[in-house]
Structure formats: structure tokens, C-alpha cells
Structure 1
Amino acid sequence: MTLPLFLLADGALREVSPGARLVLDGDEGRHAATVRRIRAGESVDVADGSGRTARCEVVEALKAALVLRVEALADVAPRLPGLVLVQALAKGGRDEAAVETATEYGVDAVVPWQAGRSVVRWAAERGEKSRLRWGATARAAAKQSRRATVPDVGPLVTTTALARRTAEVVATGGAVLVLHEGATEPLATAPLPDAGRPGAEVLVVVGPEGGIAPDEVEALVTAGARAVVLGPEVLRASSAGPAALAVLSVRLRRWG
């Protein structure tokens, strides 16, 4: 049976060594002490979201926190090329559902996209709150799937900004794959960077409920992206990205 995993603040394990004491408090500590009812003498794993994990013994269980002694540390190397989900804003929480599942599938970063056909709009303070909610969703999904890393949720991009990033990614040996039902090139055979290539990324671009507008597809393809199709079925905004990530994870030998 695997040990429970709890998340510390970002980078909290950077300067930690075996034998050190840690306090797991806040929401995570409260959950561990009062919901999971973990007691002294038990073992747990903790991670700081940046790829470092620690196997710990609980030396004291407080009312809403645990005092831990670090027994061993491990670092999870980043998998290359990195997988990035560019998710268009979508209504009904389907965009956030995509972030959750993509995190469980191992995505390395998420980019929110204000596509032309997105019904949902992020603006000013509301937009930042929504981005932070995506980040919290990714963090919770990382914990549930026992990941040592939490995907970064970047700032909202426009189509113009996404086209610029596309050109940069392709110029450095990466690939940008735009999921489009009208494409003829299968995702399963689209060219990809070599597994393990430093600095390379594979961006998966997913449109909103109404699909990606033709002028947006043209802008991205002109910048170096490839329009690809998953299969004969038309998937929702919540499932298209994760399905594509599953295919890519097999092709890049992350899975299997």
C-alpha cells in the first residue's frame, strides 16, 4: 500500500537534509491530523511541488499539524520534452476539468487561452482569481495522483501571444499541435521532438466549445504549428486535451 502524500510550500525541501524536522501545518496538516488521523510512528511522504520528495516519520501528532522527521530524500528528474496544455477558456467548468485530468496524466504546464470563440472571459481581478483557481485545481490533482511536481499555470494568453510562443517553441526544436476536427494529419503520427531533448516542449492546443476559429488556426499554423486530429469522434473541451496527452505520453515513452 502506498503512503499518503502531502504537499508543502513550493521549494520547502530545497535546503532540507535527512534527520531534519518539518512541521506539516495549514490545510494539509489539518487534513493529515484530523481527517486522516495520522499518528506518531506512522510514515508519510511529502513533496514541495518542484520535484523533491521526502519520506518522513511522524514524531508528533498535534491538533491540526504533524511534526515530521525526514528519513530520506529523492529528486524526480523532469521528463523531456515537456508537455504543455494550452486550454481555451470554456463554459460549465470544462476548462478546469481539463486542467484536473491533464495534471493526473502528467502535464508539465498549463496555459489559459482567451480564444476568439470562448464564451467565458477573464478580465482584471476576476481573471486572476480564475487563474489561481486553476492553480489550486492542479495542486489538488497533483496530490491525488501522488506527483512530486505541480504543473505551473501561466498567465492568460491571446491568440497573438500564442502565435508568438508557437514560433519560439518550433524554433527551439519543439512542436505545437492544434487539435482540430477538420485536420487530416493524425496526432498518432505527427512529428515530435526526440524523447529527452533538453529545452524542447510539445504544446497541445485545445479550443473552446465552438471550436477554434479558422483565422486562429491559420495564425498558429503560419507560426509553425501543425493541425492534427485525434480520431473520428469530436471530444469536449474537458476531454480533448487529456486524451491527446495520453497519446503523446505513450509515444514519448512516458507511459508503458
Structure 2
Amino acid sequence: MAHFFLSETLAQAPSATQVGATVSLTGAEAKHAVTVSRVRPGETLLLGDGAGLMLGVTVMTAAPAELVLRVDSVRHSPPATPRILLVQALAKGDRDELAVQAATELGIDGVIPWAASRSVVRWEGVKVQKGQARWAAIVREASKQSIRPWLPEVSALTSTKQLAQLAATSRMLLLEPTAETRLTAIAPPTDDRDIVLVVGPEGGIAASELEILEAAGASRVRLGDTVLRTSTAGPAAVAILNATLGRW
């Protein structure tokens, strides 16, 4: 499998989209390529900007400060429509982070951290920005591992009230083990509204939160007859939706 690296400023150089052009990879990505991945001149890599642009390149020179690359192929991938967004409640341990990592590898298009009423973990003060940055780093590395042309965005910490506002403009699905409707029974969408999967913390989504979100237009769905951990429910639902939407 080819090494894949990200350079979010790649598209700022118009010549980068031309076969035969020369582009550079610098900073932490270049250092990682040379010191960790042991990339050497003559090797072929994939280079993306996280916004649909994917280049096949050959390494001309390799130093920890800069890789000089020749563009061999250019591919533009359109964004997914409809998007699948994961609302992941903050959870103790690393269970929320595991969910974010796996969901990214499986193709989630955006991640929304949620301060649910039953969340044991709380992002407060400086933890708000640190937590979002931590999740963004996880998403970035998972996107590189799975060679994704589009880098999912990690939104700011969201409240239940803000989720209710989102429910009014999207197709929001609440993963709830007691729901009557199975996620596998959901028909493919007929419009381009975002599909928003909401996963609660260890104790599940509180009854009051379910009522608020349902009143705003959300629907309850279940994955099966068993109860999954908060770290696995979201990725399992993403896999089902990938099949429903024809992505897989």
C-alpha cells in the first residue's frame, strides 16, 4: 500500500494539479515521511489536501525538512452526498476517541462532540479547545491511514439544544436500543440533507434528551437486539449506512 500524506495548502499552488509539476512537502509531514516511514528518492506516494485533491507523486529528494515530489497523476474526488455526521457523546476512558477513530476509517464525513447529560467526562475551560484539537488529530491520522481524499471536520462542542436546531435541517437518527425501527430498515434518502447519527454516553441518551430531539424532528433507531458500547455503536451504524447509501 502506498504511503499517504496530507498537505492542506497543496491546492494553493495551481501548478500542483498538473502532471509533471514539482511540489514540496514540508513540516511535520516531511519529517514523519523521512524519519518514521523511511521514504527515499524514487519511491511513489499519495499526497492529498484533505479537500478532494489526490496526487500520485514520485519522491525526487527526501530530507526531514522537505520532500521534493514530481506529480505523476491528479485526481479530484467530489464530497459525499448526503454527508454522514457522527454526534458522539463524551465518554470516559478513551471510548469516545475509539469511536471517532473507527468512524473516520469507515467513512464518516464530520464529527460533532456532544456534552450529553449522562456524560461523565466534561470539557470545560481550556479542556474545550484541547478536546476538540485531540479529536481533530485522531481524525487526521485515521484519514491518512484509510487514504481518504476528504478530511472530516470536527465541530465545536455541542449542547442538546444545539442538536435540536440541527435536527430541524437534517435527518437525525438517535441510536436507542429500545427503538422499534431497525437502522437496517431505513430506506435510502431521497434528498441531500445530512444524515446525523447520535450516539449517547455509557448510560445512553437520557429520556429528556430523546424527547427534545424527537420534538425537533429526530427519529429513534436501533442496531439489533443487543446493546453496543458507545465506542462501537457509531462505527457499526456508519457501516450500515455505507451499504444503504451504496458507498460500499
Q: TM-score, normalised by structure 1?
A: 0.92
1:77-113 Cα offsets, whole Å, 9 max, x none, are 1121110000000011111111000000000000111
Instruction: Quote how far apart the aligned CAs of 1:63 are.
Output: 3.9
Structure 1 position 13 matched with structure 2 position 11: yes
Is 1:215 matched up with 2:239? no
Report the counterpart of residue 149 of structure 2 in structure 1. Answer: 148
The answer to whether 1:158 aligns with 2:159 is yes
Could you say what secondary structure the match of 1:69 adopts?
strand
Determine the structure 2 residue equivalent to 1:172.
none
Match of 1:243 among 236, 240, 243: 236
Show the 5 A alignment for 1:79-228.
79-169=80-170, 175-194=171-190, 197-198=191-192, 200-228=193-221
- The residue identity in structure 2 corresponding to 1:137 is I
Partner Cα separation in structure 2 for residue 190 and residue 3 of structure 1: 36
Contact 2:136 2:154 in 1 (8 A): yes
Structure 2, unaligned runs of 5 or more: none
Q: Percent identity?
A: 45
For structure 1, the 5+ residue unaligned runs are 170-174
Q: Distance in 2 between matches of 1:218 and 1:50?
A: 37
RMSD: 1.3
For 1:192 and 1:241, the matched residues in 2 are separated by: 18
Inter-partner Cα distance in structure 2 for 1:65 and 1:105: 31
- CA-CA distance at 1:45 after TM superposition: 0.8
- Bigger Cα displacement from structure 2, 200-209 vs 28-37: 28-37
Q: Could you tell me whether the CA contact under 8 Å between 2:31 and 2:63 is conserved in 1?
A: no
> Helix, strand or coil for the counterpart of 1:13?
helix
CA apart distance, 1:27: 2.1
The CA deviation string for residues 187-246 of structure 1, in whole angstroms up to 9 with x for no partner, is 11124413xx44x21000000001110010011111111101101111111000000000
Task: Tell me the residue number matched to 1:72.
Answer: 73
More displaced stretch, 13-22 vs 55-64: 13-22
Distance 2:114 2:158 in 1: 5
TM-score, normalising length: structure 2: 0.95
Q: Give the paired residue count.
A: 245
